[in-house]
Amino acid sequence: MDRYSNARVAIVGATGAVGTTMLSILEERRFPLSDLRLLASSRSAGRVVDTNWGSVEVEDLETADPSDVDIALFSAGGSRSLEYAPHFASAGATVIDNSSAFRRDDTVPLVVAQVNDEAIRSNEGIVANPNCTTMVLMMAAGPLHDAAGLKTMFATSYQSVSGSGRTGITQLTSEIDFFDEDRESLVSGGWEEPKGDLYARPIGYNVLPLAGPLSDAGYTEEEWKLVHESHKILGRQEIAIEPTCVRVPVMVGHGIATSMWFDRRVDLDEAVAVLGSAPGMQLWDDTRVPTPLDSAGIDDILVGRLRETIGFPGGISLFAIGDNLRKGAALNAVQLAELLLA
pLDDT, one tens digit per residue, over 25-77 is 999 999 999 999 999 999 999 999 999 999 999 999 999 999 999 999 999 99
For the structural domain made of 2-130+330-341, what CATH number should be given?
3.40.50.720
Does residue 245 have an active-site annotation? Answer: no
The domain spans of the chain are 2-130+330-341, 134-160+207-323
Mean pLDDT computed over every residue of the chain: 96
CATH 3.60.20.10 fits 134-160+207-323, yes or no: no
Does residue 231 have an active-site annotation? Answer: no
**Is the confidence at residue 253, as pLDDT, over 60?**
yes
pLDDT, one tens digit per residue, over 89-107 is 999 999 999 999 999 999 9
Question: Which listed residue (145, 228, 245, 254) is catalytic?
Answer: 254
Q: Which residues of 224-248 are buried (b: 16+ CB within 10 A; e: fewer)?
A: bbbbbbbbbbbeeeebebebbbbbb
Question: Which listed residue (132, 145, 228, 245) is catalytic?
Answer: 132
Please, are residues 133 and 226 in contact by the beta-carbon 8 Å criterion?
yes
* CA 72 from centre of chain: 18
**Is the confidence at residue 285, as pLDDT, over 50?**
yes
pLDDT, one tens digit per residue, over 16-28 is 989 999 999 999 9
Sheet holding 240-247, edge to edge: 240-247, 150-159, 254-262, 316-322, 301-308, 281-283
Sheet holding 71-74, edge to edge: 48-51, 54-60, 33-40, 7-12, 71-74, 94-97, 126-128
Please, are residues 12 and 72 in contact by the beta-carbon 8 Å criterion?
yes
The predicted model scores a pTM of 0.93
Average pLDDT over residues 267-292: 96
